[in-house]
Amino acid sequence: MSLLKWFTITALGLCSLGLSASEQLNVFNPTSFVAGMLLISWLLCTQLNQGVITRVLNIAAGVTSLAFLSFHKIELIALPIFAIIAELIFQLKDNRRYSQSAVAGYIALGCMLLVAIGVVGFSLSIDYLALGPIAFFLSQCLLIDLSIKQDVTTSTDTHLPEPVIQHDVVPDRAILKQCLMAQSRLTSCQLVLFKFDGFSDINHKLGHEFGDLLLVQLVARIKAVLSDEALLVLSQTQDFRFARLNSVEFAFIVKDLSQQYRYQQLINELARISSQPVIIKGCTLNTELKAAMVPIAQTQEPIDAEQTLKHAYLALEMAVKQQATFVDYHAELSDAREAQLEKIMRLSNADFNQEFELYFHPVIDLKTNKVLFIELLLRWQHPEKGLLDAAAFVNEIRMAGLSYEVTRWVLEKAAEISLMLKVENIQVPVSVNLFGPELFQDEMVEYLAELIAVHHLNPKYLIIECPAGVLLDLEDKGAAILKRLKNVGTPVCLDDLGVSPLLLTQLPKLTLHYVKLDDVLIAEFSQNTNSRNLLRGIISMCNNLDTKVIAEGVASNVLLEFVETLECDGAQGYLFARPLSVVGITAWLNQWQHKLDAEQLPY
């Protein structure tokens, strides 16, 4: 039995004896009884391993509660209430509304509210208001004890190391910021932020239980690496060298900026141990570690710790984006973020008809040199930066929540262009790219079918392009949307196909009319003769599926000859034409056909 339980049993026994004796003598003293309970619960709480702020507030709550019982002044009860509320604010500020201290605060305030009702309505002694702080202290003891037992049971059942992740034990964001400010006054230092990448897939495919068990093992490994590192500093009151910011993000401080490469050695070691497979319930799990570093110069002025953390998150985001193990923060990252926020704000207030333009880029049939179809490309006439390609703002469209509205606008314009070509007796399909997973919804298919009906179009002249990566992430949902598009009669083109084994295995399950080979893939394989058989195998598989293959990025005759040897059906690139405004689309298509009729090469 734990020492905490022995203390609790002894305390309750003494209180019971005191209460019994008081009843026999008919001299029951609520003040003495409550004071005894308060003192015992307070002493129990001080034995817990807690953060500095939590410990100070607990001491304040205990001292002020004893003062209230000593002086019997009702106004003094406001002091322990203030201490409990301060602890609640501290927990809620770091989004820990269900931590042990926060739950204990809820219980204490609820208890004091009930006692206050009893004091007013039933003439109870005001001394019983001290039951609130008693409940506060005992609840912390009980909740932490239960939490430790639960984690030990989990560790025993799954043969895992002892858990080290406790919100009230492991230093958190607030303690990290305090240490940053304190250390920056003593010497220059480095803030290192790191995370485990890959947990979302594990939680999604296997369940959060697997993710939680994996995290316990990874944190134990990291603690083993960092616990004896002399260059690290975090908490002088606790035996921890790193802080937990959220479920999979952690940070530590290197206290000597002159050791500028030491943190890289630590990150490399952490990356090595975190990449080692972990077997949980027969499943082999892997994650990747991504890290970022922010240098902090020595200063006697208080630094903005929250801003420093934001800088670290910017660098960490870049590490994930670039698939790098770690990235150092530099001012250009903040400038890029400011520019991104400016784009989002402008896009949120943009008039699509005034600021958006459509360009077209033809796809050419390699056997006949006819135009297979034209791809519509979105452009934004930025008030300050001029005409921007979609790649420069498509992420901001998604971040602003405008994907659906922008795509509806593009689809409507595509239907109008297709109708115009129909009137001009030009039988060339038009394609539109659905650039994000949020666009693969039933309402988008319904809107497309409505446009086709309203404009009296043949659905085969309106092609929907789907990025390969987006379709892969959607899994079964993506295949279901493709089937709905097939029912509408709209052809589907898979864009930017690479050599992902997972995507290639799913390819036969998809209903596709066209497949575009990624331009990077074409450029790389054109230089590597040993890899061309792989590309030929992909093309052969598509041909067997009755899917036409289009090579992107054909910008020279050399690349054209290469894709022709691969027996691709079509090609797209600057060799044939650069993207042009849709204003001159009919003139360009007529001119192209005129050269073909004259048996001239159109490009």
For 139-161, letters b (16+ CB in 10 Å) and e give: bbbbbbbebbeebeeebeeeebe
Cα dihedral 556, 558, 559, 564 in deg (nearest 10): 120
CA 166 distance to own-chain centroid = 22
Out of 10-19, 65-74, 266-275, give the one with best mean pLDDT: 266-275
Q: Which of 167-176, 276-285, 546-555, 586-595 has the lowest mean pLDDT?
A: 167-176
Q: Which residues contact 478 (CB under 8 A, 6 or more apart)?
A: 440, 466, 470, 471, 472, 510
Q: Which has the higher per-residue pLDDT, 343 or 469?
A: 343
Task: Please report the pLDDT score of residue 6 as a whole number.
Answer: 45
Is the pLDDT score of 38 beyond 80?
no
Same domain, 449 and 550: yes
Is the pLDDT score of 151 beyond 80?
no
Same domain, 143 and 220: no
Distance in angstroms (rounded) separating the CA atoms of residues 132 and 218: 39
Task: Please report the pLDDT score of residue 166 as a whole number.
Answer: 42
Please provide the distance, in angstroms rounded to a whole number, between the alpha carbons at the two ends of the chain.
86
Is the pLDDT score of 11 beyond 60?
no
Task: Please report the pLDDT score of residue 144 as a whole number.
Answer: 65
CA 384 distance to own-chain centroid = 31
Task: Please report the pLDDT score of residue 52 as a whole number.
Answer: 66
Q: Per the domain annotation, does 154 fall within a domain?
A: no
Q: Which of 8-12, 136-140, 188-192, 268-272 has the lowest mean pLDDT?
A: 8-12
Write out the H or E segment, with its range, that includes residue 243: strand 243-246
Among the listed residues 489, 544, 546, the one whose alpha carbon sits nearest the alpha carbon of residue 514? 546
Q: Kindly indicate the confidence band of residue 450, based on its pLDDT and cuts at 50, 70 and 90.
A: very high
Q: Per the domain annotation, does 99 fall within a domain?
A: yes
Task: Please report the pLDDT score of residue 228 as a whole number.
Answer: 60
User: In sequence order, which ranges of 47-77 are alpha helices (DSSP H)?
Assistant: 52-71
Our CA angle for 368, 376, 383, nearest 5°, is: 145
Q: Per the domain annotation, does 473 fall within a domain?
A: yes
Supply φ then ψ for residue 361, to 5 degrees. Answer: -135, 120
Q: Kindly indicate the confidence band of residue 240, based on its pLDDT and cuts at 50, 70 and 90.
A: low
Provide mean pLDDT across the span 214-243. Answer: 69
Is the pLDDT score of 231 beyond 60?
no
Same domain, 312 and 376: no
Same domain, 226 and 249: yes
Percent of the chain with pLDDT over 70: 82
Provide mean pLDDT across the span 301-318. Answer: 88
Same domain, 299 and 428: no
What six digits make up the tokens of 65?
């509660």
Q: How many domains does the chain have?
A: 3
In this structure, are residues 187 and 297 in contact, taking their beta carbons and an 8 Å threshold?
no
- The DSSP secondary-structure symbol of 276 reads S
Same domain, 70 and 202: no
Q: Per the domain annotation, does 549 fall within a domain?
A: yes
Q: Per the domain annotation, does 158 fall within a domain?
A: no
Among the listed residues 338, 348, 343, the one whose alpha carbon sits nearest the alpha carbon of residue 314? 338
Task: Please report the pLDDT score of residue 414 as a whole number.
Answer: 96
In this structure, are residues 277 and 285 in contact, taking their beta carbons and an 8 Å threshold?
yes
DSSP 151-183: HHHHHHHHTPPPP---TTTS--HHHHHHHHHHH
Is the pLDDT score of 158 beyond 60?
no
Domain boundary among 310, 329, 348: 329
Among the listed residues 315, 325, 468, 340, the one whose alpha carbon sits nearest the alpha carbon of residue 392? 340
Task: Please report the pLDDT score of residue 69 as a whole number.
Answer: 78
Please list the helix, strand and coil fractions of the chain in percent, rounded to the nearest 5, in that order. 60, 15, 25
- Return the half-sphere exposure (C-beta side, CA atoms, 13 A cut-off) of residue 95: 5
Write out the H or E segment, with its range, that includes residue 194: strand 189-197
Task: Please report the pLDDT score of residue 514 as a whole number.
Answer: 95
Domain boundary among 148, 164, 185: 148
Q: Kindly indicate the confidence band of residue 238, based on its pLDDT and cuts at 50, 70 and 90.
A: low
Is the pLDDT score of 328 beyond 60?
yes
Distance in angstroms (rounded) separating the CA atoms of residues 602 and 597: 10
Same domain, 556 and 576: yes
Distance in angstroms (rounded) separating the CA atoms of residues 279 and 282: 6
Provide mean pLDDT across the span 514-543. Answer: 81
Is the pLDDT score of 16 beyond 50?
no
Q: How many residues does the chain have?
A: 603
Task: Please report the pLDDT score of residue 264 as a whole number.
Answer: 78
Task: Please report the pLDDT score of residue 47 as a whole number.
Answer: 66
Q: What is the 3-state secondary structure (H, E, C) of 469-500?
A: HHHHHHCHHHHHHHHHHHHHCCCEEEEEECCC
Is the pLDDT score of 19 beyond 70?
no
- Return the half-sphere exposure (C-beta side, CA atoms, 13 A cut-off) of residue 26: 0
Q: Which of 27-31, 279-283, 329-333 has the lowest mean pLDDT?
A: 27-31
Same domain, 214 and 132: no
In this structure, are residues 459 and 452 in contact, taking their beta carbons and an 8 Å threshold?
yes
Write out the H or E segment, with its range, that includes residue 327: strand 326-328
- The DSSP secondary-structure symbol of 287 reads -
Distance in angstroms (rounded) separating the CA atoms of residues 410 and 32: 78
Task: Please report the pLDDT score of residue 162 as a whole number.
Answer: 37
pLDDT tens-digit map of 583-601 = 999 999 999 999 999 999 9
Cα 181 to Cα 92, 131, 227, 234: the distances in Å are 21, 38, 22, 11
SS3 label, residue 417: helix
Same domain, 97 and 134: yes
Q: Which has the higher per-residue pLDDT, 425 or 228?
A: 425
SS3 label, residue 302: coil
What six digits make up the tokens of 71?
């002086």
Q: Per the domain annotation, does 480 fall within a domain?
A: yes
Among the listed residues 546, 547, 521, 548, the one whose alpha carbon sits nearest the alpha carbon of residue 535? 521
Task: Please report the pLDDT score of residue 146 as a whole number.
Answer: 63
Is the pLDDT score of 239 beyond 70?
no
Task: Please report the pLDDT score of residue 499 as a whole number.
Answer: 58
Provide mean pLDDT across the span 166-188. Answer: 71
Task: Please report the pLDDT score of residue 96 as a whole number.
Answer: 63
Out of 91-105, 354-368, 381-395, give the one with best mean pLDDT: 354-368
Is the pLDDT score of 412 beyond 90?
yes
pLDDT tens-digit map of 530-585 = 667 778 888 888 988 899 999 999 999 999 999 998 889 999 999 999 999 999 99
SS3 label, residue 538: helix
Provide mean pLDDT across the span 232-246. Answer: 65
List, in sequence order, every residue forming a beta bridge with 464; answer none if it has no partner: 432, 492
Average pLDDT for the chain: 81
Same domain, 128 and 217: no
CA 446 distance to own-chain centroid = 31
Is the pLDDT score of 295 beyond 70?
yes
Q: Per the domain annotation, does 159 fall within a domain?
A: no
Its domain, for residue 40, covers: 3-148
SS3 label, residue 292: strand
For 388, left (φ over 0), alpha (ψ -120 to 50), or beta? beta
pLDDT tens-digit map of 476-497 = 777 788 888 989 999 999 988 8
Same domain, 111 and 212: no
For 96-128, letters b (16+ CB in 10 Å) and e give: beebbbbbbbbbbbebbeebbeebeeeeeebbb
Distance in angstroms (rounded) separating the CA atoms of residues 126 and 64: 15
What six digits make up the tokens of 338?
């400011």
List, in sequence order, every residue forming a beta bridge with 376; answer none if it has no partner: 360
In this structure, are residues 110 and 96 in contact, taking their beta carbons and an 8 Å threshold?
no
* Residue 246 belongs to domain with CATH number: 3.30.70.270
Task: Please report the pLDDT score of residue 119 as a whole number.
Answer: 83
Same domain, 514 and 382: yes
Q: Which of 61-70, 186-195, 301-310 has the lowest mean pLDDT?
A: 61-70
Q: Per the domain annotation, does 162 fall within a domain?
A: no
* Residue 376 belongs to domain with CATH number: 3.20.20.450
Domain boundary among 306, 329, 352: 329
Distance in angstroms (rounded) separating the CA atoms of residues 347 and 309: 28
Task: Please report the pLDDT score of residue 505 as a whole number.
Answer: 74
